[in-house]
A = this chain, B = another copy of it.
Amino acid sequence: MGQRMPDKLDDVARLAGVSPATVSRALRGVSGVAERTRTRVLAAAAELGYAISPAASSLATGRTGTVGVIVPFVDRWYFSRLISGVERVLRDAGLSLLLYNLGDGPGRARFFADLPLRRRVDAVLVLSLPLAEAEREQLRGLGTPLVTIGTEEPGADSVGIDDHGAAVTAMRHLVQLGHREIAFIGESDPVPLGFTTPLRRLAAYREVYRGVCREDGRVPEPAFETGGGFTVAGGERAMGALLGLHRRPTAVFAASDEMAFGALRTLRRAGLRVPADVSVLGFDDHDLADLLELSTVAQPVAELGERAGHLILARLSGGKIATSPSILGTRLVLRGSTAPPAGR
């Protein structure tokens, strides 16, 4: 039983007693085919189990039915969540999703050199990855719509959250509890891959923290700004460094829940109690934040992905680029890791 060749349009045409052109039109639901004919064609196609050849179709139309998604990581909570969200809406719309993981290494350079998605996709989605000028040009050269999540690029639709505002809100919460000595765990310097999100959160931290210091007439502690690489281990180390300081923070704001988890662990190992001795506030509302009683800033990650998917669909059907990015709301989720500082 040899490998049966897949059926072609002509086979269906013959079976239905019409021309290939008509089959093509009928199958795609294009107008201009008599209802009876269409029915007959569909029946013939079903009988043969016929499926169109994407390659041939793509060659003829220039469309691919695929969107390229470029991510820096796939195995981190935030990104996998995003991917899941966008995949859902694209799949519902009958589009396929081509995944490119730039990784942390030389993959990025190679990706932009080869541009493997060239002519392979109808649109490109970039997740949280700020593009260098040259990279943006490369992507623009593709001639496909570009949408981004978490960054704004000229000529691209984008969706994101108000990082600065959310971080300010988070910091204010700490201040209102009575904290004055607040540390920050963010990204290391220089920021890998050029991420801008950590910087926006850092800026918000500085703004609030320095404001408090000014009020109190104290000088801000620069060592309170630490980097945790957005990983649990990095958060652990950063918290360790903070504990080594003479001037110790009474609260810590981590730019991601994972880093906050790491901080919690270091604190526990050091015999310090949260929130009695130190308050910890995260960012993300990771699945496990609830488990660990972590107060945090919740962001609607899956919705960000879905919104991006819808933007892609809109652009693919001729929509124009929105003049301003879609900003989704965040929300402070208070759990057990934040409280007034000891002695208040």
Residues of A within 8 A of B (CB): 3, 6, 51, 53-56, 58-59, 64, 66, 73-77, 79-81, 83-84, 87-88, 91, 94, 96-101, 103, 107, 115-120, 143, 232, 261-262, 264-265, 287-288, 290-291, 302
- B55, B143, B265, B288: which contacts A58 (Cβ < 8 A)? B55
Q: Which residues from B are CB-within-8-Å of A76?
A: 80
Known: A55-B59, A75-B83, A97-B98. 15 other contacts (CB 8 A): A51-B115, A51-B119, A53-B59, A55-B56, A55-B58, A55-B64, A74-B84, A75-B77, A75-B80, A91-B100, A91-B101, A91-B107, A98-B99, A261-B291, A288-B288
Are A81's CB and B91's CB within 8 A? no
Q: Tell whether A80 pairs with B91 under 8 Å between CB atoms, given A66-B98, A120-B96.
A: no
Identical chains in the assembly: 2
Q: Which residues from B are CB-within-8-Å of A98?
A: 66, 96-99
Q: Tell whether A96 pairs with B87 under 8 Å between CB atoms, given A3-B143, A51-B115.
A: no
Q: Which residues from B are CB-within-8-Å of A87?
A: 74, 99, 101
Q: Which residues from B are CB-within-8-Å of A88?
A: 101, 103
Q: Which residues from B are CB-within-8-Å of A99?
A: 83, 87, 96-99
Closest 7 CB pairs of A and B: A80-B80, A55-B58, A75-B84, A55-B59, A75-B80, A74-B84, A75-B81
- Can you name 11 A-B residue pairings with CB atoms under 8 Å? A53-B119, A55-B64, A59-B59, A73-B84, A74-B83, A74-B87, A75-B81, A80-B80, A232-B291, A261-B291, A262-B291
Q: A203 to B107, alpha carbons, bound, how many Å?
A: 43
Q: A51 to B143, alpha carbons, bound, how many Å?
A: 14
